[in-house]
Amino acid sequence: MQPTISQIGSYVGKEVRFGAWLFNRRSSGKIQFLQLRDGTGFIQGVVAKNDVDPQVWENARNLTQESSLYVTGTVREEERAPSGYELLVTGIEPIQIAEKYPISLKEHGTEFLMDHRHLWIRSPRQRAILSIRSQIIQAVHEFFYQNGFKKVDPPILTPTSAEGTTTLFHTKYFDEDAYLSQSGQLYMEAAAMALGRVYSFGPTFRAEKSKTRRHLIEFWMIEPEMAFVDHEENLKIQEEFVSYVVQDVLKHCRRELNFLTRDTAKLENVKPPFPRITYDEAIQLLKEKGHEIEWGEDFGAPDETAIAESFDKPVFITHYPTEIKAFYMKPDPNRPEVVLCADLIAPEGYGEIIGGSQRIDEPELMLKRFEEHGLSKKDYQWYLDLRKYGTVPHSGFGLGLERTVAWITGTEHVRETIPFPRLLNRLYP
RNA sequence: UCCGCAGUAGCUCAAUGGUGGAGCAACCGGCUGUUAACCGGUAGGUUGCAGGUUCGAGUCCUGCCUGCGGAGCCA
């Protein structure tokens, strides 16, 4: 294989040839500095007029921003270079001289950049974020495989909604109505009864008119579901899981985190156990901070941020009122007005990254909830069956990938944490 | 859906109700260590759309469109 820029350190003193794009050029009359990228990294190529064939000089001079080429040169250590290496160019074979590139090195507005998202992802910052996203995805799979989970893929086309709360994308399934999945959870409960410990990792669709830095219309969710796991063990698995992912990124993506000027000390600190407060305590805390909130209300984004500010790690908020949570959550046996659930709030104002709970396993209570929520027993017969044929205590949770990427990378808005975001007013590109 | 802000050159922004400018990008030229290089020059405009007020509107008023920020909902 030809070398990549990321591997260039092992070719010091040798001549290499690889494919690259020119993302910038600075010239000084008799010396040109070519800023080259190949997707794996960046390196500066130096072309000195007196040291190269006139054709090489001319080829370099004609390269425009984002032109593609094969470059040949000698690798050398250079302490002035950000990566520590530089390429003394000896050959340039243009593949294509690019047309005038729309994205300049100067600042651009969000609308313009989003319209050119297919090109924007070439920029160093976007490359760093998407690289870390890839590492997070890999770490997620590693964690679950190491802990005996099986990956199960729930359907994306579904006949009805899972929770009945959020607005779904409607489509047709031949002559029937169908909806894009907003959560695979109910199917994962069935899978947990078959395979024990399972997780899903796939796209999720919410037709909500949400317009904030924490919302996407299409986003990726990791949903583990575990038989014979209660609320307490559920939280332990969550804190082990989140810590594993963060530490793995710290191990493999130092360069990217530094480029993004992420304060890694805050990430180093993300190790079990995570602090826990009950919903009751959270209400008390917010009242002390002057927030206007009463028991029984759900937290808004400013409330979550205020709670997160009181801790230097992700924090669990447990035992929410039964009234404001999903129908399938198991009530606390000692206090049926609250459920055995927890939301995990990321530090630094990145908001809720996990929602989870122990599920109702008693058939009678599940039937009662169906009646209370007006859910169709016919549509969900398969789900009710799970409580009839060997029901067991079980728990699960859902982690939002993009919010997790935003938090770990220190990115303000989730739209930069997914290659091609689907937003309220954006389906292009 | 609601609240707030904005829309001027390819991009980022100036312009007191009185002749629409600058930086970057592009093009031409200069420079052997540049780091969003720098210096000189050239070219680049239906001021989001429609209407109104005025001797005169990029600027003031009304409506619409688009975008941004936030809320609700959620991961």
Q: How confident is the model at residue A85 (pLDDT cuts 50, 70, 90)?
A: very high
Q: Are residues A309 and A266 in contact, defined by beta-carbon separation less than 8 angstroms?
A: no
**Residue A417: what pLDDT?**
94
**Residue A259: what pLDDT?**
87
Q: How confident is the model at residue A349 (pLDDT cuts 50, 70, 90)?
A: confident
Q: A174: Cβ–Cβ under 8 A, 6 or more apart, which residues? A: none
Q: Compute the distance between CA of residue A308 and CA of residue A346 in angstroms, rounded to an integer.
A: 7
Checking if the pLDDT of A163 tops 70, the result is: no
Is strand B less than 7 A from the beta carbon of A399?
A: yes
Query: Which of the 116-145 residues on chain A come under 7 Å of nucleic strand B at their beta carbon?
Result: none
Q: How confident is the model at residue A288 (pLDDT cuts 50, 70, 90)?
A: confident
Residue A321, φ and ψ in degrees, nearest 5: -60, 135
Query: Which of the 18-77 residues on chain A come under 7 Å of nucleic strand B at their beta carbon?
Result: 24, 26-31, 33, 35, 44, 46, 48-51, 64-65
**Residue A166: what pLDDT?**
66
What confidence tens digit (pLDDT) does each residue in A123-137 have?
888 999 999 999 999
The residues with which A316 forms a beta bridge, in sequence order, are: A276, A344
| ipTM for the complex shown | 0.85
Mean per-residue pLDDT, A370-393: 91
Strands A351-358 and A341-346: antiparallel
Checking if the pLDDT of A269 tops 60, the result is: yes
Checking if the pLDDT of A412 tops 90, the result is: no
Task: Indicate left, alpha or beta for A374 from its phi (over 0: left) and psi (-120 to 50: alpha).
Answer: left
> Any idea which residue has 């000698």 for tokens?
A74
Q: Are residues A69 and A60 in contact, defined by beta-carbon separation less than 8 angstroms?
A: no
Residue nearest to nucleotide B1 (CA to C1'): A209
Q: Which nucleotide is nearest to A204 (CA to C1')?
A: B75
Mean per-residue pLDDT, A344-348: 91
**Residue A162: what pLDDT?**
53
User: Quick one: which of A352, A167, A350, A125 has its CA closest to A256?
Assistant: A125
User: Quick one: which of A7, A10, A27, A6 has its CA closest to A89?
Assistant: A27
Which residue intervals of A67-123 are DSSP H helices? 110-115, 117-120
Q: How far is the CA of A362 from the C1' of B41 (A)?
A: 82
Mean per-residue pLDDT, A179-194: 93
Is strand B less than 7 A from the beta carbon of A300?
A: yes
Q: How far apart are the first and last CA of chain A?
A: 33
Q: Where are the domains of chain A?
A: 5-96, 117-416
Tell me the CATH number for domain A117-416. 3.30.930.10
Residue A102, φ and ψ in degrees, nearest 5: -70, -30
Q: How far is the CA of A66 from the C1' of B13 (A)?
A: 26
Q: How far is the CA of A29 from the C1' of B21 (A)?
A: 31
Of all residues in chain A, what percent carry a pLDDT higher than 90? 65
**Residue A164: what pLDDT?**
54
Looking at domain A5-96, does it have CATH number 2.40.50.140?
Answer: yes
> For chain A, how long is the longest CA-to-CA vector?
87
Is strand B less than 7 A from the beta carbon of A354?
A: yes
**Residue A144: what pLDDT?**
97
Checking if the pLDDT of A161 tops 60, the result is: no
Q: How far is the CA of A423 from the C1' of B9 (A)?
A: 29
The DSSP 8-state label assigned to residue A91 in this structure reads E
Q: Which nucleotide is nearest to A406 (CA to C1')?
A: B75
Q: How far is the CA of A44 from the C1' of B73 (A)?
A: 48
Is strand B less than 7 A from the beta carbon of A216?
A: yes
Positions in chain B where some atom is under 7 Å from a protein CB: 1-2, 10-13, 23-27, 30-38, 66-75
Q: Compute the distance between CA of residue A35 and CA of residue A333 in angstroms, rounded to an integer.
A: 64
Across all residues in chain A, what is the average pLDDT?
A: 91
State whether residue A390 is helix, strand or coil. Answer: coil
Query: Between A139 and A300, where is the model more confident?
Result: A139
**Cα separations in angstroms, A133 against A146, A180, A248, A344, A404:** 20, 24, 12, 20, 9
Q: Are residues A155 and A181 in contact, defined by beta-carbon separation less than 8 angstroms?
A: yes
Mean per-residue pLDDT, A421-425: 88
The DSSP 8-state label assigned to residue A319 in this structure reads -
Q: How far is the CA of A107 from the C1' of B16 (A)?
A: 29
Mean per-residue pLDDT, A399-425: 92
Is strand B less than 7 A from the beta carbon of A84?
A: no
Q: A325: Cβ–Cβ under 8 A, 6 or more apart, which residues? A: A339, A341, A357
Mean per-residue pLDDT, A380-401: 95
The DSSP 8-state label assigned to residue A334 in this structure reads T
Is strand B less than 7 A from the beta carbon of A212?
A: yes
Q: How far is the CA of A255 from the C1' of B41 (A)?
A: 42
**Single-letter amino acid, residue A73:** G
Is strand B less than 7 A from the beta carbon of A183?
A: yes
